Amino acid sequence: MNFIPHTEEDISKMLTVVGCSTLDALVSEFKPRLSELKLDEPKNEMDLLSYMTKLSEKNSTMKYFAGGGSYDHYIPSIIGHLVLRGEFLTSYTPYQPEASQGVLQVLYEFQTFICMLTGMDVSNASLYDGASALAEAALLSSAHTKRKGVFVEEGLNPNYFKVLQTYCDGTELYITNSIDENTACVISQTPDFNGNIKNPRGLIEKAHQHKALFINCISDATSLVILKTPGEFGADIVVGEGQSFGIPKSFGGPYLGYIAVKEFLTKKLPGRIVGMTTDDKGNEGFVLTLQAREQFIRRERATSNITTNQTLLALTATIYLASLGKSGLQNVARASYHRAHTLQEKLKKVGFELVNTNPFYNEFLVKTPKPTEKIIADLMECNILGGIDVGDNKLLISCTEKNSLQDIDSYISTVST
């Protein structure tokens, strides 16, 4: 394909203006010149679509009972239509606010939604994904407390733990087993990786006694709709993955990290933040604000190196939250809860051992009566991804409103034969 509008005549006229005889001569100082490039022949649109479709068909898409950081919630049709509007899709970071009021207002609405869901004071305009949002929160805590210890309560998503470990190694923080005067932050996940919902109050008190910040990492973002907010419990920082809000699973990315803080941490936030202001005629409008925190101004003294965020996905989440509204979100969360509880009860009856010790939302852990690998393989035969094999014959299962009672029955009949 070719997305270059120039005619031969244009090129030759332009070369004359530039004072160069050929296109090749124009790049003569780029050295060393490569001799050959082993790529395929160019593809036209029809052949490209066929090639990529074939690749996509080598993947299996199933009925999902797996979560672990990516949840199969229903995506309302309206989202796809709005997100593809070229004015949103093909714009960039709103450096010129007068040409970007649309995206800026969307981000202001996103920040508001995140604050209302988490019960926090201030949200930024998004981060890469849940795992890096958690890592950024740990860095923020270290910058605020001037300490380097990161305490992680049991039950953090192991993928997030690994990313946190990578960031800690690279930035000279360390994971610690104790909460004391060297601890920058205490991290706790809700619901935890096994699905348990724990009351964090005691842990928050302990963190604050030692002047460490408390970071609450949220698992499925729809849980915020029915669970007491981290803000109300007293969390200082809330981070999580916003993929549940209308974003396709897409083999793990791009997703939507979010971070929200109590007011006293506002100026330490990483990434973009949108604020409301007025124009020269006194009309309300929006701009990127607190930019003095950011890398393109503060360079080595910036709060983070982050440049782009995930604006189009923040737009997606905003439209999702607006479209479902209060009652729609409550229905999604309730359905996810009820389906998971129904499946859990039925699994118990066919010999699965329940592992959760606390109340759970839409994700729970069971010990399988047969080897977990075998259970997963049997279910895959029936086009069901039955959960995540977490080892030790344990299976982590997740439900959403999309898992019908009929699907739950097929699940049970498959695993009980």
Partner 1 sequence: MKLIFNYNQSNTKHTPQEKDVDLPDDLKRKDLPLNDVNEVQIIRHYTRLSRKNYGIDTNFYPLGSCTMKYNPRINEDIARLPGFSNLHPFMPASHAQGALEVIWELEEILKEITGMDAFSLQPAAGSQSELLGVMIAKKYFTEKNENRPKIIIPDSAHGTNPATAAMCKFQTVTIPTDERGNMDINEFKKAIGKDVAVVMITNPNTLGLYEENLSEIKDIAKENGALMYCDGANMNALLGISKPADQGFDMIHLNLHKTFSTPHGGGGPGGGSLGVKSFLEDYLPVPRIKKENEKFIFESNNKKSVGKLHSFYGNFGIIVRALAYIKSWGTDIQMISQIAVLNANYLFCLLKDDFDVPYDRRCAHEFVISAKNLGDKSAVNIAKRITDYGFHAPTIYFPLIVKEALMIEPTETESKNTLDEYAKVLKTIIKEIHDEPELVKNAPHTTPGRLDEVKAARQLNLRWVPSES
Which residues ranging from 389 to 408 are in contact with partner 1 (CB under 8 A)?
401
Which residues ranging from 231 to 290 are in contact with partner 1 (CB under 8 A)?
241, 248-255, 266, 272-281, 283-287, 289-290
In which residue are the tokens 């999580």 written? 240
Distance from C-alpha of 164 to C-alpha of 158, rounded to nearest angstrom:
10
Among residues 264, 322, 370, 374, the one that binds partner 1 under rule CB under 8 A: 322
Q: Is the CB of 119 or the CB of 210 nearer to partner 1?
A: 119
3-class secondary-structure state, position 83? helix
Distance from C-alpha of 398 to C-alpha of 71, rounded to nearest angstrom:
8
Q: Is the CB of 148 or the CB of 208 nearer to partner 1?
A: 148
Based on the shown chain and the rule CB under 8 A, indicate whether residue 146 belongs to the binding site for partner 1: no
Shortest distance in whole angstroms from residue 186 CB to partner 1: 19
Tokens for 311, please give them: 């604006």
Task: Give 200's contacts (C-beta < 8 A, 6+ positions apart).
Answer: 188, 190, 214, 216, 230, 233, 235
Distance from C-alpha of 67 to C-alpha of 328, rounded to nearest angstrom:
21
Listed ranges 26-34, 208-216, 343-351, 409-417: which one lies at the site for partner 1 (CB under 8 A): 26-34
Tokens for 205, please give them: 């008190």
63-64/384-385 β-pairing: parallel
279, amino acid identity: D
Shortest distance in whole angstroms from residue 118 CB to partner 1: 11
Tokens for 383, please give them: 């086009």
Listed ranges 96-104, 181-189, 208-216, 347-355: which one lies at the site for partner 1 (CB under 8 A): 96-104
**CB-based contact 216:200 (threshold 8 Å):** yes
Based on the shown chain and the rule CB under 8 A, indicate whether residue 382 belongs to the binding site for partner 1: no
Among residues 112, 209, 357, 413, the one that binds partner 1 under rule CB under 8 A: 112
Binding string, 34-53, against partner 1, x = CB under 8 A? Answer: x--xxxxxxxxx--xx-xxx
Q: Is the CB of 210 or the CB of 414 nearer to partner 1?
A: 414
Shortest distance in whole angstroms from residue 371 CB to partner 1: 15
Q: Is the CB of 121 or the CB of 210 nearer to partner 1?
A: 121
3-class secondary-structure state, position 157? coil
